Amino acid sequence: MSDVAGFLTRPWGRVTVSGPDGTSFLQALVSQDLGAVADGGSVPCLLLHPQGKLDVAFRAHRVDGGWWCTTEPTAAARLAASLTRFRIRVQADIVDATADTARAEVVAFTGPVPGGLPGCPDGCVTAADVRPGWTSTEIVGPVAPVQAWLAATGTVVGDDGRREALRIAAGLPRQDVDLDDSVIPQEAFLERDAVSFTKGCFLGQELVCRIDARGHVNRFLRRLAPSGPVAVGDEIRFDDRTVGAVTSAAERDDGWVALGWVRREVVPPATVEVVTDGGPVPTVVAVGPDSDE
């Protein structure tokens, strides 16, 4: 049987967009094509700066003709402010509903999430995320029904540190931890599921499409396998040069895992050194789901 744990996050970032022009307003701004999303469906999205770098990564859920944009709570106010800044002569209401929002998630550490999870409660949205090393089902909505949903799954609420280690091992970047406003989508492989190259114009499209067509980026967010303890901010060195830094790190039963920015010339599975307070730690830059090879 799968090793399954549930996690409850409160608050969780939620910005609602509604009104007669809500869909066309979002469609003109975000990187994903919202046109094919049916009511109750969702897609990963990016709101970029006009220069093509990341503002906020989020998931767009279609709810009763409007949209819930869910993200890390640290990013919700920024998302609401950015959307409001571009709301010019359109009938769209933008509300930051983070204060009354929670997120429950069931994560399978080995194998798939088992069947029989309770259905999505009224007033909430659901989404699944399945990729190498990571399978989860989540519910986002008002606090009370989200808490009730998690209780009804029968899972034991897990330790947040364990989830963080699994996230890092699977190569999943986290907004405002691994990602900031210096990031180009292709550097963190965000274009693979959060960018449509066929929808037409969106904010920041020129840089993203130019890189896709004939360019390259100078660094990548890579999975790292350190041979010992490392910490966020530790320098990564290769051939006596600084080539990046650690953004996330955690210890698991089988050793340490980390994510970090690494220059493009360091090709997985290269061995680098992470410079820590205790001395250099030999580290493998892993080939895996985050790799462009």
Domain hosting residue 17, numbered range: 1-217
One DSSP character per residue, 230-247 reads --TT-EEEETTEEEEEEE
- Segment 2-28 shows an average pLDDT of 93
Give the residue among 174, 172, 177, 241 at the shortest CA–CA distance from 275. 241
- Segment 143-156 shows an average pLDDT of 92
Query: Is 213 found in the same domain as 225?
Result: no
Query: Is 184 found in the same domain as 55?
Result: yes
> Residue 230: how many CA atoms within 13 Å on its side-chain side?
30
Query: Is 150 found in the same domain as 53?
Result: yes
pLDDT of residue 131: 82
What letter would DSSP give residue 6?
A: E
State how far the Cα of 284 lies from the Cα of 227, in Å rounded to an integer: 8
Query: Is 134 found in the same domain as 65?
Result: yes
Query: Is 291 found in the same domain as 166?
Result: no
Query: Is 266 found in the same domain as 192?
Result: no
For the cut 80, the answer to whether the pLDDT of residue 292 exceeds it is no
Strand partners, 175: 179
Helix ranges restricted to H, 86-238: 143-152, 160-169, 191-194, 205-214
pTM of the model: 0.94
pLDDT of residue 288: 56
Query: Is 20 found in the same domain as 136?
Result: yes
User: Phi/psi zone of residue 149: left (φ > 0), alpha (ψ -120 to 50 degrees), beta?
Assistant: alpha
Query: Is 235 found in the same domain as 155?
Result: no
- Segment 149-174 shows an average pLDDT of 89
pLDDT-derived band at 2 (thresholds 50, 70, 90) equals low
- pLDDT tens by residue, 52-88: 999 999 999 999 999 999 999 999 999 999 999 999 9
Domain boundary among 217, 236, 267: 217
Query: Is 232 found in the same domain as 149?
Result: no
Query: Is 200 found in the same domain as 227?
Result: no
What letter would DSSP give residue 157?
A: B
The count of structural domains within the chain is 2
Query: Is 235 found in the same domain as 122?
Result: no
Query: Is 180 found in the same domain as 234?
Result: no
Question: What CATH code is carried by the domain that includes residue 293?
Answer: 2.40.30.110
Domain boundary among 201, 217, 233: 217
Question: What CATH code is carried by the domain that includes residue 15?
Answer: 3.30.1360.120
- pLDDT tens by residue, 201-219: 999 999 999 999 988 999 9
State how far the Cα of 277 lies from the Cα of 268, in Å rounded to an integer: 25
